[in-house]
Amino acid sequence: MAVPITEAYTLGFIGAGKMAEAIARGVDKSGILPASRMRTAHRTLARRQAFSSFGVHVYESNIKVVEESEVIILSVKPQVVKEVLSELKPFLSKEKLLVSIAAGIRLNDLQEWTGHGRLIRVMTNTPSLVGMAASVICLGELATTEDEKFVSNLFGAVGKAWTAKEKLLDAVTGLSGSGPAYVYLAIEAMADGGVAAGLPRDLALCLASQTVLGAAAMTIESGKHPGQLKDEVTSPAGTTIAGIHVLEKNGFRGTIMGAVMAASKRSEELS
């Protein structure tokens, strides 16, 4: 029987890198758990200081982090997950909930390497660094509904989180995992267009980024279909429909669909 996570739990990070720091800072800032209840370990001083500077306890070893934590976020690179878990296996048990954010490492493998199924796998993305991640949560065999709620809350502190079946994670990787890079390309291209049309570079970049942010917020907050929002801003013989015509002639939507599908396929090949 899995032990419920209490209010007084401690949260450990194995792998004190960029993602771990983003999650730790986001969770601390959100008020759901103070940094003083978080633990990590790292061999370099710079990473140790990055965590201790906002109140996380930094230890000498991963084992001590696991021993002292009820919930452990596995945030090392995928290539080292197996090796790290083989060292930690004797200290992991059903009393502890293990949450892996390692891209491409499946629940089955995690279960085999840890010896139990109280696991949750999460696919998040880099906007977690600014509290705007899109994360998807997949439950292992022994993870409880409470565990799910708990992890949704945790990742809700650095953005938004949804639960899905693991078989959808390659598609999630192709869409929200790789998606920020597609949008960076779009922002850069829009800014370049602005420069070509005579705008100073700084202003063009600010306008492009803010426009993407604004359009995303409109889609989320209005609840309207993006096609309807597009129709609402295209006046007859106007500027916007002239721009859209160029995008459609060049296969804009098909290209973006293709990018998501190619990245999903690549994720499938890699895992």
Kindly state the smallest distance separating residue 85's Cβ from ligand NAD, in Å.
Answer: 10
Q: Where does this chain bind ligand NAD (CB under 6 A)?
A: 14-20, 47, 62, 75-78, 80, 84, 101-103, 124-126, 177
Cα distance between residue 139 and residue 119, in whole Å: 6
Tell me whether residue 78 or residue 234 sits nearer to ligand NAD (CB atom).
78
Residue nearer to ligand NAD on the CB measure, 177 or 194: 177
Nearest residue (beta carbon) to ligand NAD: 17
Rounded to the nearest whole angstrom, what is the least distance from the CB of residue 252 to ligand NAD in the complex?
25
Question: Smallest distance from the beta carbon of 147 to ligand NAD, in angstroms?
Answer: 20
Rounded least distance, CB 202 to ligand NAD, Å: 27
Q: Please, which residue, 72 or 204, has the CB nearer to ligand NAD?
A: 72
Query: For 10, left (φ over 0), alpha (ψ -120 to 50), or beta?
Result: beta
When the beta carbons of 25 and 194 are compared against ligand NAD, the nearer one is 25
CB 143 within 8 A of CB 136: no
CB of 195 to ligand NAD, least distance (A): 28
Cβ proximity to ligand NAD: between 51 and 150 the closer is 51
